[in-house]
Structure 1
Amino acid sequence: MRDFVERVVEKLSVGENKDRVSVVQYSREAEVHFSLNTHRTREDVMDAVRGLRHRGGRPLNTGAALQYVMDNVFTNSTGSRRLQGVPQILILLAGGRSFDNVDTSASALKQRGIFVFAIGSRTSDSRELQRLSFEPSYALSVSDFSGLDTVQEQISSLMSTAAPKVGFLHRILTSRDVVFLLDATDATRSDFPAVQDFVQRVVETLLVDEKKDRVSVVQYSRDPAVQFYLNTYMTKDEILNAVRNLRHKGGRSLNTGAALQYLRENVFTASSGSRRLEGVPQVLILLSSGRSADSVDAPASALKQMGILTFAVGSRGSDSRELQRISHKPTSAFTVAEFTDLSSVPQQLLASLEALPIDVTPETPTDSGTSIMQPFRCHSRTPFTSL
């Protein structure tokens, strides 16, 4: 295993602004030997690899190790440049079937755009290796680890095929389509400046651009009214100016269900600027001051099926259970006493937005204008295990 890692590292251009390498061993628990920002030269990495000592232990908890790597290795503080679009690669060597469940952590790594290559021995579970890998074809097997040299070229080739996907994944990771659905009934008239301020503070945190974040605002009461679509404004200043100039719509009845249905059919669409079919996360932030006069269940379910990530913010007049049913998960529902207290919400909301999953299923665009990184210009992340 050490020889295998050395041969991979020999092909890298290690440097602070080039390739970075980290190594982890695991059995029952994971242990980081060095992080992505520990060594800045190939010689230092090679010396560290040669100095590795077998960790030992039982059982083999691959699921927990993957979670550990995600939480403690692929992070800004430990040298990961994931959010800057640098390819993130995890090479896993597993000598048997995992004692714990791997599906949740493997899925989470894929959602973050981390390319996982799983290499197993004859005692490994081939189907588990495929589930662990970013794609089933990224799973490789050897009779035993003394034969790892036979898959060295395969790994290099597969990493080369992964590289063209990086620009696409980076665009997804740094892009969001954000729609605000604002309760504009008569009951919220005096609170409307606080609502506008809330929207402005969220927009201030976004990277607004045609190829990055896009924003739409809709007011509703009995009927919804689009103030601007996702493709109306392409700069932050334009959006902030439009939000400042909003005029309260008014209306007596609060038909949240009809408004959600309207968004599905008229706002989260390609013609209105939505990039849902390209895999860009779709975010809906709902502000509601009371219980809906119509049913929200069917339209909320339809939005979830489309992959819309809904965050619902209600005042004390709202139905907390209704807000939870509307949200893409119960913890994405927030409540404040009054809309004048909305200042307490953005930090919670922004933390949730940063943890958004991404959809990595759309096909990679073949646009020749896309910038492609070199195959090994990456974070290489190698957990070791032993039987």
Structure 2
Amino acid sequence: MTLSLLAQTPSRAPEPEPAHEAFLKLDKVERAFVYRRGTLTRPAKSFNAVDGVSLSLRKGETMAVVGESGCGKSTLGRLAAGLMRPTGGYVDLDGISFGELSADGWRDSRTQVQVIFQDAAGSLDPRLPVETQVREPLDLHNAGTREERRRRTEEMLMAVKLGRHLWKAVPGELSGGQQQRVVIARALILEPGLLICDEPVSALDVSIQAQIISLLADMRDRLDLTMIFISHDLAVVRQIADRVAVMYLGQIVEEGPVERLFSAPMHPYTKALLAAVPVPDPAVKRSKQLLMGDPPSPHAPPAGCRFHTRCPIATERCGTDMPEMRSFGSVHVACHHAEERS
């Protein structure tokens, strides 16, 4: 890791890399959780919060993961960050396989991947000054001299537009937006290659959300970051993502470039999500996409397509056969009726 200055020339548009040179690759990743322990008379029961997910990101690319609460977005983010070990499949970050890392190897990998969580206040130590908390990753990894660490900390605090008068403050003296700026500075001070953002703006006011999204986009361009941006807010996703992956009950049902997915969604679930996004112009007429019922329990997902119990175009085949992910140009869709919408 180098202590390079942040005032480098931004390079937002990396040259496209061949598919086999993905910076981050998730291949058929699964993560099971036990919800009932086994006894002498009954077996244990578990469910897959993430079930067979495959994704790949190029260096400098931003992938948004969207879906309803409980669909597995945050679990997928933790798997991509190496905070959880997959129970199936593998996660590879620039040649590092998280499932095979030793304890020392996992610690070293933290310089390459960082996470920003939704609860900024809960991510910070309430007793330590802002400046100390931002510098702490450099101290833990013994990066550079003491003077270099101090200078690097000041650069990062200025880069996230946090005034000098706040550097000695404790988190309780800051607003929610200021706390999130501290968390961003601390996550990026090690210059990671991968940044996982798990609902980073959902707890903030709309005006502050726009500032934080703009800051994240700016830092991504300065540091050539690869990002996974987890959110349920499609309006926010459109501002920052290059590609979008839509999750439902632990599986990816559609994935593709953000503008292509927003303009011509192919999966009925994606279409319903987009139809629910508020439009500020009351004169705009939109077709309603009402979904029937509630999402099934992840403990007992339905057979076949997991969305068929709520899908307006489901057929008998949808209730028996699991759809495979198929490619239609730049878009990948898991739906038996994708041809009809291509």
Please classify the TM superposition score into its range, dividing by the shorter chain length.
under 0.3
Which one has a bigger Cα radius of gyration? 1
TM-score, normalised to structure 1, is 0.21
Compare the two structures and name the one with the higher helix fraction.
1
TM-score, normalised to structure 2, is 0.23
